[in-house]
Amino acid sequence: MNADGYRNWALCNGSKKKVVSDNISRLRRIEQELGNIDLDKEFEKDLCASLTLLFKKTGLNPDMEKYKTTLPIGKNTLASYKHALITYIKYKKEN
């Protein structure tokens, strides 16, 4: 993940510093929890489409079950991780 590029992009697009910092932390956790993946490589592969599918139905789906993760599966707070991923995808599409 290009954390510095994402940070600069998000701040220039009006996001608050705390929100950007929180999103970067969530994105790093996604990378770690899903087997030390690289979001940039996932974007190159399929624009992170396979990753976004993991977050449908608050993670209560067969695709997410493949991972031994401590992400908040089945809880509304998982939406904050999905939102961070979606904003990172938007950053990648614009850059």
> What residue spans define the domains of the chain?
3-94
CA–CA dist 11, 35 (Å, integer) = 29
Closest by CA to 71, choosing from 84, 88, 59, is 59
Closest by CA to 27, choosing from 2, 5, 9, is 2
The pLDDT of residue 76 is 94
CA–CA dist 8, 30 (Å, integer) = 20
HSE of 57 in the Cβ direction (CA atoms, 13 Å)? 6
Q: Mean of the pLDDT values across residues 64-87?
A: 95
The pLDDT of residue 1 is 97
pLDDT tens digit sequence for 10-56: 999 999 999 999 999 999 999 999 999 999 999 999 999 999 999 99
8 A C-beta contact, residue 33 and residue 59? no
pLDDT tens digit sequence for 60-70: 999 999 998 99
The pLDDT of residue 31 is 98
pLDDT tens digit sequence for 1-19: 999 999 999 999 999 999 9
**Which residue is associated with the tokens 């493949």?**
66
The pLDDT of residue 91 is 98
Other CB atoms within 10 Å distance of the CB of residue 48: 22
